[in-house]
Structure 1
């Protein structure tokens, strides 16, 4: 379930103004092209522009702010211009030494043929043409060439990427990356070696308080993992992925019914 911004008419109106201003500044772009640039569906963008969305998600707010020119320190921007949603942002996103992936590049993270190449480039010491050719063949190398030609990735001294910041992205992108990573990268044959882990279960719980307690446990685990990853003694060349998720099996809360 998407995290939503508190019901606030001013933020919906402000987003509509930004969308209309952007359209005036880019008269040669269709609504569909603008939505694609913002990594949104045309229907979602139109509904927000027309004020038909009463409670936008934080993901929608950030996509429109970023797409219409809010760059750099997004949290500072929200504090100064939209304080009503700054706290929601703090709850949803890790704000320590983080910055958003450029929006054009984030669009390609939703592409199953490109996501892993981009992740390798943005993790640790980056990647190389040789590694991409070895892992993904000539098709992968062609995808890398496209990303370099468009300026979405940078190559310096034979290294593509390299990054010393914690990069974040919109919730819809994170959801796809988690699904893609499990499907493409999780090695079932390594479970017996105790080098990876996967857990899935369903349960029936009585109310939202139980759900919030589970979320708190996952949040505590995330902080413990961050401590391990932030220790310089643990840094190296092996690139890994970590994901945690929980939610209702249906759209409504509180959860009713279920199986274990």
Structure 2
């Protein structure tokens, strides 16, 4: 469940205008092709363009802004035009030294066959053809060659890596990457060695206050983790992942007792 932007018709109209303008500037692209460039479904893009989305999520706002050319100065743009949304942006993303990865590369991060190769390249000291071949065989090497050929990853002196800035992606992509990482990389046998952690609990609580306290505790944990990782002496090439997440099991929307919330 994504963080929603407050119901502001101005931002809704602005997003719709940016989409329509982009389509006029790219007449040779179909709606489906534009949606893929924005890392969105055609239906989501059309609903935003038509004004059917009254409360866009922060992820939808960022996808349209990035897709229509505001990716280099998203925070500056939001600060100047929609300060309340800029505040939400700061709450969701670490803006200290962070920039978004390219949208093309983000699309491939949603591909289960490519995500881990990309993560290896974007963390630590990067990766090499030899490492990818050893870990993923010839198929993985073929995937790497594709990413290099398309310019999604860059190789220098035999190392496929990244620049000094921290990189991030949209919320939908982060959700997929976390899911894939648990599925592909979590090793249950390491629990006894105390080398990993997997915690999950679903429980009923009395009100939204408890859920907010859970979120606050996780945010405090993130601050402590960031302080640990900001220390240059702790950085190296042992590549790990961690994730913090909590949300409601059900949407807080009314539903029909006869057929469920998705019935008309």
Provide the rounded CA distance (Å) in 2 between the counterparts of 1:206 and 1:253. 17
Q: Offset at 1:80?
A: 1.7
Compute the TM-score of the two structures, normalised by the length of structure 2: 0.94
Secondary structure of 1:43 counterpart: helix
Residues 126-141 of structure 1 aligned to structure 2 (within 5 Å): 126-141=126-141
Secondary structure of 2:120 counterpart: helix
Secondary structure of 2:167 counterpart: strand
* Corresponding residue for residue 188 of structure 2: 188
Matched residue pairs, number? 254
Secondary structure of 1:204 counterpart: coil
* Corresponding residue for residue 167 of structure 1: 167
Q: Offset at 1:25?
A: 0.9
Residues 14-163 of structure 1 aligned to structure 2 (within 5 Å): 14-163=14-163
Higher mean C-alpha deviation, range 245-254 or range 44-53 = 245-254
Deviations 1:21-46 (A, max 9, x none): 10011111110111111111111100
Provide the rounded CA distance (Å) in 2 between the counterparts of 1:83 and 1:34. 28
Q: Offset at 1:198?
A: 0.6
Deviations 1:140-180 (A, max 9, x none): 00000110010000000000013422211111000000000
Q: Offset at 1:210?
A: 0.6
* Corresponding residue for residue 245 of structure 2: 245
5+ long unaligned stretches in structure 1: 255-260
Residues 208-247 of structure 1 aligned to structure 2 (within 5 Å): 208-247=208-247
The answer to whether the 8 A contact 1:15-1:64 is kept is: yes
Compute the TM-score of the two structures, normalised by the length of structure 1: 0.95
Structure 1 runs (4+) deviating above 3 angstroms are none
Provide the rounded CA distance (Å) in 2 between the counterparts of 1:134 and 1:173. 26
The answer to whether the 8 A contact 2:154-2:162 is kept is: no
Provide the rounded CA distance (Å) in 2 between the counterparts of 1:204 and 1:71. 40
Deviations 1:100-127 (A, max 9, x none): 1111100000000000000000002100
Provide the rounded CA distance (Å) in 2 between the counterparts of 1:82 and 1:139. 45
CA RMSD after TM alignment:
1.2
5+ long unaligned stretches in structure 2: 255-264
The answer to whether the 8 A contact 2:5-2:88 is kept is: yes
Provide the rounded CA distance (Å) in 2 between the counterparts of 1:3 and 1:31. 26
Q: Offset at 1:14?
A: 0.4
